[in-house]
Amino acid sequence: MGRLFRASVLLALILAWAPRLSAETAELVADIDVNGGSSPSGFTPVSRSGVAVIFRACDGSVRRVWRSDGTEAGTFALPGDAVPCASAEEPRPVAAGGLAFYLARSASGKLHLWRTDGTVAGTFRITPDTIGPISDVTVFGDGVAFRVGDRIWRADGSLLGTHPYAVIPVTAVEPRALTGLGPWLFFVARGLGSANEQLWITDGTEAGTFPLTDFHTSPFDPAASPEMAKAGNTVFFVALDQLWATDGTAAGTAPVLSSPTEGGSPTDLTVFHNALYFMADTRRNDLGRALWRSDGTAAGTSTVRLIGTLAGLPAWLTVRGDRLFFVADDGEHGLELWSTDGTFDGTTLAGDIAPGPTSSYPRWIAAAGNLVFFAAAGIASGLELWESDGTPAGTRRVQDIAPGSGSSSPEEITLAGDRIFFAADDGVHGEEPWSLALDGGGCVPSAEALCLGNGRFRVVADWRDFQGNRGDGTAVALTGDTGYFWFFDAANVEVVLKVLDGRGVNGHHWVFYGALSSVEYALTVTDTATGAVRRYENPAGRLASVADTEAFGPSSAAGLIAEEPFVEEPVIDTWDEVAAGICAPSATRLCLNGGRFAVEARWKDFQGNTGTGQAIPLGGGDTGYFWFFGPDNVEVMLKVLDGRPLNGKFWVFYGALSSVEYTLTVTDTQTGAVKTYTNPSGRLASVADTGAF
């Protein structure tokens, strides 16, 4: 790029930059359904045989249970019967004792209970062929309990450990909503000759199975299980749109508050500091809802602070160490992320992500170490992944996964070991599983990812050919700033890219790429230090080079590069004929396509200095590149392909990462034919000459 540019880059290298709270980068785990997204759901951690998550996903034809440890190699479908993608979703898996338990249908359509430790060998069915219809799987002790007709079964994850546990009395009609809390199991059922449901309890014995309530009207939503939580020796539940508490006896079961307006319609029951926190009605603020706390008594039940969510919206109460995070509106900031230590003064706004009364609508909050992760809608970035330590300074977007105003819409954020997993749509792959390492490792190079700019920038490529097939580009690093991708063959370079530090010139990092391919592809560049993302999309049929000298900077918005790159027809001189000979490779000469074609480069910089390009061949024999000013700064890459089966010609492709003046000379040593390609100063372009020789 010239001596002035190189001096500027050296100056920029000494400038300081502010790191993010943590330097992790979210990555696509696997493209399970390459034609539209696998819609993963039910992320559940397992840890007995290594930390991983299991989830359900559709591969385009069938939905089955998958596992992942956050790597593509460690992501695969587990054994068991699959169902068509259009089938109704089964209940989400539950985690207990380091295992995950889930319901899956056999080939006959019958539901069975499976267990998995996240390995193929550790995944198997634990219910017998003769068992009846299974429902209501719930965590119970170190395993699960589930209902089969009028019987409750218990399972510890082994074949011998699956057995009947309790009999539901005939006086409990149409039982449902089995829920395990501590040593007890609860369920809802109607009484004989009654339309009103009651809450029942069982300890597994006949004497210990009885109704706790005596409602004379319909207390529960017939389409949902009642919300329940256990704090100490008190079990809380919601009935008749009120908060109730029980000590496990009928005599000790009563509503916590008698007011029909204060504390009504409680939701989001969450245990924190051995007390219950929840959202409920109040007439003392304009929103009509507030954050409440209860110890199970009327005297010990009160509002924490008069902020809350709108009726019908979840507050996502989530415990992280000594703080409880939740979503609330205080009448000034819209619905934003808050946290509390349980006191009025200790309840603070974590961050005003959408400034002013506009709401960012945080959701799917998950605690991980000293942080919580969640999805929220920023002003310029759509609905994306965020993190917070509970302070405004420590609340920031992790990554703009769907660049610009698009939304990746993260869902089901789940912690497993030192990673979080979630479902997201980056705008290229559809909704697929993603993973975020929490160790602050920054960019980690892989077969699909380049780490450029001293490891700060992560680059991946996704392609779609003219037949509609899709795939990930395979990454090959050349220097600390430059690398390339191949799509179909390791010997066939498709696009080369470099990230340069131009902060000494204009305060930005610069992105250059040159194409040797006209298929549709997208290059996604992520700044792991800030979470900013740029995506460069090349439509099918276009061959172009791009120079984005404002890609990443203090004021540039991360997003989609929508501008059409500057493309010109190549300047190709007339044919020349020289004596045929043999190509002898040298420091300034490439010998390509079996050594038949000799390629040399001459350059002139912006100050009028001239020189000869230094040649670097690549594996495969068809491709190489030239550097002009330094071995770490690739300027132009060129390949010669044998297209004679298609049009009787050899083809020349080159992609530029330089806008200085240069001339490429290509000689066919068998015929003596010569072609030259001249790039005028200031132009940055890729060229495809499919009639070259």
pLDDT of residue 115 exceeding 70, the answer is yes
pLDDT of residue 21 exceeding 70, the answer is no
pLDDT at 24: 63
Spell out the domain ranges in the chain. Answer: 3-17+442-561, 571-689
pLDDT at 440: 62
pLDDT of residue 404 exceeding 90, the answer is no
How would you class 430 by CB atoms within 10 Å of its CB: exposed for 0-12, middle for 13-18, buried for 19 or more?
Answer: middle
- β partners of residue 499: 511
Which residues, at least 6 apart from 646, have a Cβ–Cβ distance to it below 8 Å? none
Proportion of the chain above pLDDT 90, given as a percent = 56
Neighbours of 216 (CB within 10 A): 7
Proportion of the chain above pLDDT 70, given as a percent = 92
- β partners of residue 328: 336
- β partners of residue 515: 495
- Contacts of 407-410 with C-beta under 8 Å, sequence gap 24+, read 407/377, 407/382, 407/383, 408/382, 408/383, 408/384, 409/375, 409/383, 410/364, 410/375, 410/383, 410/384, 410/385, 410/434
503 three-class SS: helix
pLDDT of residue 394 exceeding 80, the answer is yes
pLDDT at 630: 87
pLDDT at 441: 60
Report the residue count for the chain.
693
Distance from CA of residue 593 to its chain's centroid?
A: 41
Q: What is the pLDDT of residues 424-443, one digit of tens each?
A: 999 989 999 999 988 766 67
pLDDT at 435: 94
**Whether 551 contacts 508, CB under 8 Å:** yes
pLDDT at 557: 44
pLDDT at 12: 27
* Token pair in block for residue 499: 């990230």
Work out whether strand 533-538 and strand 559-561 pair parallel, antiparallel, or are unpaired: parallel
Q: What DSSP letter does each residue of 133-190 carry, written as one string?
A: -EEEEEEETTEEEEEETTEEEEE-SSSTTEEEEEE--TTSEEEEEEEEETTEEEEEEE
Average pLDDT, the chain: 87
Q: What is the pLDDT of residues 467-518, one digit of tens each?
A: 888 888 999 998 888 989 999 888 888 888 889 888 888 889 989 888 887 8
Q: Which residue has the tokens 């954020």?
A: 413
pLDDT at 599: 93
Among 44, 66, 46, 51, smallest CA distance to 117 is for 46
